[in-house]
């Protein structure tokens, strides 16, 4: 029987394949690729746009304003969908493609799926050097797109149209693999995009993908259960993997049954509601006194779905030297870290099997009682810092308190860089699961507004929370990347953006001065500018209004509360700016290992170096 084929250009085949990939969310079949963010240039407009224009209802194309920010929007979408749907970001060659490298790194560090497609040079090399081509004299196979190799999980360059048949399924499988999840990149040679090929029809048959749930090794589960049974002061660290495995209920049931407190990483925050009986707060450098005290006392730590970043472990000073780790992770690379007893498997499946292996084990009731006491003390500290005062300039903590109070239970808080991650991780009290997104795997300045746009798109369809994205960021981050205010205004997506104007890069100024360096090149007043006594400040209201947003400057916390209530009651994009204190922060009690000069002309730096060496003496030595 002759093979049934369909003749398509490579670009047309790529688009048709994407349109025929599906997944299931809460029993409903939905497109795996929910849409495409695109900025066209000569390297993709003639062929790729020709194919996309014909499928606008199946694969909506959204025009970006900046290649990096539209790829960040795709990441924000994937995070809100908990890795169950994927967005595509497509660019031309050269600078447009390279603008996505930072976003690729963000997705890579956070283990999030996004499909990046960029134009490339000519496979036949006849017109070389083409517009925007980077030439390597000794290796003509290298193009600008090779820069993606260090920041993606899957990389390919299509130089023959039939290569799609092998490449696309591998890219999709990589993005959906919980152990290997991350961005995929495909470069499209310009002359290959145009070529027609007789593709087998079966390549385009609709396929429904499911995300694998790898079961753990039985011996590893048994060993983990035996170790946990020896614990007198166990602790559970809940990471982002709990959220992506949809294991929140299983985790809280397990913790309640076994009497073990649960603390959260930054990526894991949002798996538990703030007031859940087993919740003991966020852990680590931007964590709570309650979680950090429990970590110091713990003899066995059950880490679930976390890569144990330095902000979680206090650069490995947060735990007792003889504490034992059980690490449950779909990725072997993460599970074996720091001498852990590794249990490689899906969080939901592993929790169930571990529970079955524990028999009637439960921690002493005094442990949970102590956790509740410590957490109550932490909440009192938060209340004190978030309470209004007579100060003219509010602190970040007070701003967080107002936003949190006004936000609806399904609204999603989004942050990423600057002073906000610490303040929202400590101070935001999650009302419903999966309503908190602080991107701190890469801490990418510029993620916030772009992710707000992507998150707004994710508020539709099965599995959506249906709330409003609330973006909180500083003036420094706003100035780096803000054009998706215009994007969201254009497309009619709703979000609220709150800009805390503290006159520069305040939190990095805090670190700079904490390590003995005089304030320099961070706060505007410490920069090489025309008038240090009266630095030029941006009018964020006018700027946002020029991009189509409703905008207001809040002069007080009361103003902020009213502006938030008004913003949530209206459609579209609302931007609220408020002058915020650059010096007041919720205190922390965990250490962080950063580089401090071994020699310096500053006495303050020499003192900071001595203090840093003391921190390093407390580190657990491991991988």
Handedness of CA 495, 500, 504, 510 (dihedral sign): negative
Q: For residue 476, name the pLDDT band (cuts at 50, 70, 90).
A: very high
Averaged pLDDT, 374-387: 98
Q: How far apart are CA 225 and CA 608, in angstroms?
A: 43
Q: For residue 35, name the pLDDT band (cuts at 50, 70, 90).
A: very high
Strand 469-474 and strand 436-438: the pairing is unpaired
Quick check: 469 and 414 in contact, CB under 8 A?
Answer: yes
Least confident piece of the model among 32-36, 495-499, 574-578, 616-620: 616-620
Q: For residue 623, name the pLDDT band (cuts at 50, 70, 90).
A: low
Residue 433: which of 450, 455, 415, 413 has the closest Cα? 413
Give the pLDDT of residue 3: 87
Q: Going by C-beta distance under 8 Å and a sequence separation of 6 or more, which residues neighbour residue 384?
A: none
Helices (H) and strands (E) counted in the chain, each on its own, are 24, 23
- Which residues are 574's β-sheet partners? 496, 550
Q: Catalogue all structural domains in the chain, each as residue range(s) with its CATH number.
A: 5-209 (3.40.50.970), 218-377 (3.40.50.1220), 387-579 (3.40.50.970)
Can you give the C-alpha Rg of the chain in angstroms?
A: 25
Averaged pLDDT, 519-540: 94
Share of the chain above pLDDT 90, in %: 96
Averaged pLDDT, 167-178: 98
Crossing angle of helices 557-569 and 396-406, rounded to 10°: 40
CA 514 from centre of chain: 27
Q: Going by C-beta distance under 8 Å and a sequence separation of 6 or more, which residues neighbour residue 534?
A: none
Give the pLDDT of residue 233: 98
Whether the predicted pLDDT of 578 surpasses 80 = yes
Mean pLDDT of the chain: 97
Give the pLDDT of residue 192: 98
Residue 211: which of 174, 185, 240 has the closest Cα? 174
Share of the chain above pLDDT 70, in %: 100
Whether the predicted pLDDT of 252 surpasses 70 = yes
Averaged pLDDT, 346-371: 98
Q: For residue 622, name the pLDDT band (cuts at 50, 70, 90).
A: confident
Q: Per residue in 390-448, pLDDT tens?
A: 899 999 999 999 999 999 999 999 999 999 999 999 999 999 999 999 999 999 999 99
Whether the predicted pLDDT of 2 surpasses 90 = no
Q: How far apart are CA 82 and CA 191, in angstroms?
A: 37
pTM exceeding the 0.85 threshold for the entire prediction:
yes
CA distances from 294 to 237, 272, 275, 288, 617 (A): 11, 17, 17, 10, 21
Averaged pLDDT, 361-368: 97
Averaged pLDDT, 40-64: 97
Averaged pLDDT, 192-212: 98
Q: Per residue in 530-571, pLDDT tens?
A: 999 999 999 999 999 999 999 999 999 999 999 999 999 999
Quick check: 411 and 433 in contact, CB under 8 A?
Answer: no
Q: Per residue in 428-437, pLDDT tens?
A: 999 999 999 9
Whether the predicted pLDDT of 484 surpasses 70 = yes
Whether the predicted pLDDT of 135 surpasses 80 = yes
Alpha helices in 458-534 (DSSP H): 475-480, 484-491, 506-514
Crossing angle of helices 484-491 and 67-80, rounded to 10°: 60
């Amino acid at each position: 029987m002759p093979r049934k084929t369909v003749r398509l250009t490579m670009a047309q085949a790529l688009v048709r394949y994407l349109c025929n990939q599906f997944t299931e969310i809460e029993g409903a079949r939905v497109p795996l690729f929910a849409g495409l963010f695109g900025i066209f240039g000569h390297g993709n407009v003639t062929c790729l746009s020709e194919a996309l224009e014909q499928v606008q209802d199946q694969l909506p194309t959204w025009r970006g304003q900046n290649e990096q920010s539209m790829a960040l929007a795709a990441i924000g979408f994937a995070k809100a969908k908990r890795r169950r749907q994927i967005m595509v970001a497509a660019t031309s060659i050269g600078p447009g493609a390279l603008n996505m490298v930072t976003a690729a790194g963000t997705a890579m560090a956070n283990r999030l799926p996004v499909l990046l497609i960029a134009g490339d040079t000519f496979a036949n090399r006849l017109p070389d050097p083409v517009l925007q081509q980077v030439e390597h004299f000794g290796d003509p196979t290298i193009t600008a797109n090779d820069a993606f190799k260090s920041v993606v999980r899957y990389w390919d360059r299509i130089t023959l149209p039939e290569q799609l048949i092998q490449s696309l399924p591998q890219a999709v499988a990589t993005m959906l693999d919980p152990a290997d999840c991350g961005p995929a990149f495909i470069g499209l040679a310009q002359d290959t995009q145009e070529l027609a090929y007789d593709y087998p029809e079966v390549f385009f048959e609709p396929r429904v993908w499911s995300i694998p749930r790898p079961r753990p090794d039985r011996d590893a589960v048994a060993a983990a259960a035996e170790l946990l049974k020896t614990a007198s002061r166990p602790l559970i660290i809940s990471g982002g993997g709990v959220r992506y495995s949809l294991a929140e209920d299983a985790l809280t049931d397990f913790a309640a049954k076994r009497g073990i407190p649960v603390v959260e990483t930054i990526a894991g925050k949002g798996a538990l509601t703030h007031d859940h009986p087993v919740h003991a707060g966020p852990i680590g450098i931007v964590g709570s006194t309650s979680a950090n005290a429990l970590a110091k006392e713990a003899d066995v730590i059950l880490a679930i779905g976390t890569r144990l970043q330095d902000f979680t472990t206090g650069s490995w000073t947060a735990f007792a030297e003889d504490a034992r780790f059980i690490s449950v992770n779909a990725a072997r690379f993460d599970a074996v870290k720091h001498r852990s007893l590794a249990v490689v498997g899906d969080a939901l499946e592993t929790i169930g099997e571990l529970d079955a292996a524990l028999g009637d084990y439960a921690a002493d009731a005094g442990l949970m009682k102590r956790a509740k006491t410590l957490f109550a003390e932490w909440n009192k500290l938060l209340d004190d810092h978030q309470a209004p005062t007579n100060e003219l300039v509010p602190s970040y903590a007070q701003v967080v308190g107002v936003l949190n109070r006004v936000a609806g239970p399904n609204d999603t808080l989004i942050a990423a860089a600057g002073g906000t991650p610490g303040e929202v991780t400590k101070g935001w009290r999650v009302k419903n699961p999966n309503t908190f997104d602080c991107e701190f795997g890469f801490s990418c300045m510029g993620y916030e507004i772009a992710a707000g746009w992507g998150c707004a798109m994710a508020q539709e369809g099965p599995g959506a929370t249906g709330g409003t994205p609330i973006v909180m960021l500083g003036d420094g981050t706003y100035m780096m990347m803000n054009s998706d205010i215009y994007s969201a205004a254009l497309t009619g997506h709703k979000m609220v953006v709150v800009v805390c104007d503290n006159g520069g890069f305040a939190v990095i100024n805090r670190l700079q001065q904490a390590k003995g360096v005089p304030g320099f090149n961070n706060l505007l007043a410490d920069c090489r500018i025309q008038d240090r006594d009266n630095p030029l400040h941006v009018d964020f209201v006018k700027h946002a209004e020029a991009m189509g947003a409703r905008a207001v400057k809040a002069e007080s916390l009361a103003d902020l509360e009213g502006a938030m209530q008004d913003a949530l009651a209206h459609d579209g994009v609302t931007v609220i700016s408020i002058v915020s204190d650059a010096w007041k922060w919720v205190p922390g009690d965990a250490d962080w290992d950063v580089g401090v000069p071994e020699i310096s002309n500053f006495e303050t730096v020499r003192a900071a170096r001595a203090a840093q060496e003391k921190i390093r003496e407390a580190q657990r030595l491991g991988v």
